[in-house]
Amino acid sequence: KNQVEQSPQSLIILEGKNCTLQCNYTVSPFSNLRWYKQDTGRGPVSLTIMTFSENTKSNGRYTATLDADTKQSSLHITASQLSDSASYICVVPISGSARQLTFGSGTQLTVLP
């Protein structure tokens, strides 16, 4: 069964600290993995898309890693800011098709001052 599991379910950190969110997937065949940020009550916004051949990809203070062998991805947030408080969602398409996306349940990150 195609699944995407994220951990932790929720995380609270202090402003300025770093954190790492995890995503394990069993989707097959694999083509790419996406991380989205969703502010409460808002639409998800793409942070990064990683293909099979990419190990690391950065977008500002966000760095995603991918290990296709172990089927794991992580999203590292550096020097967190209050505006980083959001749900971070890992998404993996089935067969590389956008119409068949498997969504993780997300990690709810809260950054406190």
Partner 1 sequence: DSGVTQTPKHLITATGQRVTLRCSPRSGDLSVYWYQQSLDQGLQFLIQYYNGEERAKGNILERFSAQQFPDLHSELNLSSLELGDSALYFCASSVLGTGELFFGEGSRLTVL
Torsion of CA 95, 98, 100, 101, to 10 degrees: 100
Could you give the C-alpha distances from 97 to 70, 82, 102, in angstroms and in order? Answer: 22, 34, 10
Task: Indicate the residue type of 102.
Answer: T
Q: For partner 1, which residue of 25, 50, 106, 109 counts as binding (CB under 8 A)?
A: 106
∠ Cα 11 65 49 (to 5°): 95
By the rule CB under 8 A, 98 interacts with partner 1: yes
By the rule CB under 8 A, 41 interacts with partner 1: yes
By the rule CB under 8 A, 110 interacts with partner 1: no
Q: Are 34 and 91 in contact (CB under 8 A)?
A: yes
By the rule CB under 8 A, 68 interacts with partner 1: no
Q: Which stretch binds partner 1 (CB under 8 A): 19-27, 37-45, 53-61, 75-83?
A: 37-45
By the rule CB under 8 A, 66 interacts with partner 1: no
By the rule CB under 8 A, 97 interacts with partner 1: yes
By the rule CB under 8 A, 101 interacts with partner 1: yes
Torsions phi, psi for 10 (to 5 deg): -145, 155
Which parts of this chain interact with partner 1 (CB under 8 A)? 32, 34, 41-46, 49, 89, 93, 96-101, 103-106
